[in-house]
Structure 1
């Protein structure tokens, strides 16, 4: 089933859990709109596709975008724990399920085989299917970097179980790009998530760290025009003056887009790095787990502390609060500029399209 070199066929492959599929669908729609002469197939499980909003599954104006099911093995019922469903899905995809789905996509496209895979980074088995793989990382860039150099960090500094121990407050100054983060900010280790889910996530992220540097043609971070979720518009309403959040990467981008200062309570994964960046690098918010009191003791999240933080972000007259609000407005202006027709994010999207639609012999 040969591919037509003049007619690119791009498979956008979702990781069908949590919020990953809607984010990858936004990527697929943005690419399909930007490259109307190319064919795009959105690959995910039947259950994942069924959970997408009806308006998303039938995208208006994207006649070059179709949907293809990725097969799953085993019991995928709701009674099956999420960690086990994730594990079974990855096993099935690694065992040929992704390749079969790509063949089905080619058949549905009139015999035009897939020429490039745009895949969620968690779908790193896409590196083995024989066509260029552009990985989409749905988190922040520093968290991705931490995972890629994670083995070196563990060897040099600590084991996963020691992230919150004696070395937890040490800065990662030996690692370029991570010098403003502490050991306890790292996106691996316990962090409140343990057991089977921790084991499965460690397995997935370990494969990303090994495969991405050697096999990915490019890596895309989810910060392109049109990729923000509809609820991001809420933060752009003039009545919104503060955002209390777990500091997931999507929440950080939404706050920047809305020009709203943040109060962060991270729980696990990359949320600690994001909260640290909000409070100490970009300076448009505060983190409840940070040593904001100046004495090295984390600020605990209590009802009183939340009320105090929100009041300060909304209308506090202290210098720090005024600076956070001003910085949030500055970042919003930078986002607006980046999304202009000649802005950096728009140019990156155009480069993204060029890469995935490149003619290959």
Structure 2
């Protein structure tokens, strides 16, 4: 599904997307910005057909110099999935190096230019060798935060210091031997660093990525320097070039009209400033049925106005929707970034995925965190004890009473007012970072230079 174009000049950039979770969309957003800023450069965007179909609509107004290509998903013909976690990811990763190489050769023939730059999801550690073979530069995009990137970069050091077999008794220890991780505990780190399935395909991918990234011409992330100044200084010293170019949510000029099919924003207009709890746990994870019921019971009992983004409402208590009709709305999808910008939003109840955390920071909204896996625990810990802009749910899981106490603390108590002040300071810094002379704008120009002036 290549898009025809005839730009002049001779730069050709291969963009390699990771087709799972919320990885491909931010990479495409960055590619759009780069393509608009350098119309003579061809950007060949490689992704699976399924992921591409979710990213592009027939009416999509792509810059003429972006060409979209499908790559195989790695699932053999007739393959029957066993249902084990990350099975589709493992199949894709195993086939990806050869699939990408083959499709890049075809794109080079079609465009009539050799690829001079590989712009890839950081997960693709093998891009370091591919770029060397192709005599191209490698630029890696880490779609999450500096905290999780640091944990993967220092995995070997963490394993040597903490150990991996007897880690059980050391879970409460902090990682103060790494700059910026003085308040991060062993138990906050991602699975695959020192606990969990260390030898899985996914864990090995991240471990190899951490070792490969110093070879990259540049590593860039969706964040802003002022959010994590210690990590920023440290990673600048470890990588050839380390660039914060976010928050991307503040730069999405392609969202011309807000999609709000369930009228969430109109509902918000009738609520007092800072009064509404917005609840969403992303697209990958849903709390177990007992916790969903506890959230509903806590909301009903607290009388806090709410917007709850929840696809499957089957586990809500009987009669909950009727009894809370005046208090809140439950919708299968909500315009999250816009809700977090709205002055009526007082707290975001979240799984602490990086995009969600950064959107909340950009809106100056405190958080109640219920992490599940991956970098979510690290992000939740940062929200609570590093940035002090929210709290983790009491005892790690939702109960009716625990959730009520959290809502009261964030929305009513002095402690919550302090969280709000801290969140507003970070919001100001985020907006300053993406202004014309801000750190993220300067860094984006550095990224553009690294990508097209090879």
Q: CA deviation at 1:187?
A: 1.4
Q: CA deviation at 1:53?
A: 4.3
Partner of 1:44: 47
Larger Rg: 2
- 2:20–2:51 CA contact under 8 A, matched in 1: yes
Q: CA deviation at 1:313?
A: 1.9
Q: Which runs of 5+ in 2 are unaligned?
A: 1-6, 224-244, 253-334
Distance 1:341 1:146 in 2: 31
What secondary structure, in the 3-state scheme, does the structure 2 residue paired with 1:7 have?
coil
- 2:123–2:209 CA contact under 8 A, matched in 1: yes
What secondary structure, in the 3-state scheme, does the structure 1 residue paired with 2:126 have?
helix
Structure 1 residues 57-72: aligned runs within 5 Å: 59-60=60-61, 62-72=63-73
Distance 2:78 2:139 in 1: 31
Q: Deviations over 1:307-354 (max 9, x none)?
A: 22123322x132x21110111111111111111111111111111100
Structure 1 residues 229-308: aligned runs within 5 Å: 231-288=336-393, 298=395, 300-308=397-405
Could you say which structure has the greater relative contact order, defined with CA pairs below 8 angstroms and 6 or more residues apart?
1
Q: 1:161 to 1:259 in 2, by over 3 A?
A: farther
Q: CA deviation at 1:191?
A: 10
Distance 1:124 1:254 in 2: 28
What secondary structure, in the 3-state scheme, does the structure 1 residue paired with 2:91 have?
helix
Partner of 1:295: none
How many residues of Structure 1 are paired with residues of Structure 2 in the alignment? Answer: 337
Structure 1 residues 76-115: aligned runs within 5 Å: 80=81, 81=83, 83-94=86-97, 96-109=98-111, 111-115=112-116
The normalised TM-score by structure 1 is: 0.86
Q: CA deviation at 1:192?
A: 10
What secondary structure, in the 3-state scheme, does the structure 2 residue paired with 1:254 have?
helix
Pick from 319, 336, 339 the counterpart of residue 434 of structure 2: 339
Partner of 2:409: 312
Partner of 1:349: 444
Q: CA deviation at 1:302?
A: 1.4
Q: Deviations over 1:182-215 (max 9, x none)?
A: 11111134999769xx8122121122122112x2
Partner of 2:293: none
Partner of 1:144: 149
Q: CA deviation at 1:39?
A: 1.3
- 1:161–1:189 CA contact under 8 A, matched in 2: no
Q: Deviations over 1:264-309 (max 9, x none)?
A: 11111111111111111111111126xxxxxxxx464312222221
The normalised TM-score by structure 2 is: 0.69
Distance 2:54 2:194 in 1: 29
Partner of 2:307: none
Distance 1:78 1:191 in 2: 32
Q: 1:225 to 1:64 in 2, by over 3 A?
A: farther
Distance 1:68 1:101 in 2: 8
Q: Which runs of 5+ in 1 are unaligned?
A: 290-297
Distance 1:101 1:256 in 2: 39
- 1:191–1:269 CA contact under 8 A, matched in 2: no
Q: 1:283 to 1:160 in 2, by over 3 A?
A: farther
Distance 1:27 1:59 in 2: 16
- 2:389–2:423 CA contact under 8 A, matched in 1: yes
Matching of residue 25 in structure 1 with residue 25 in structure 2: no
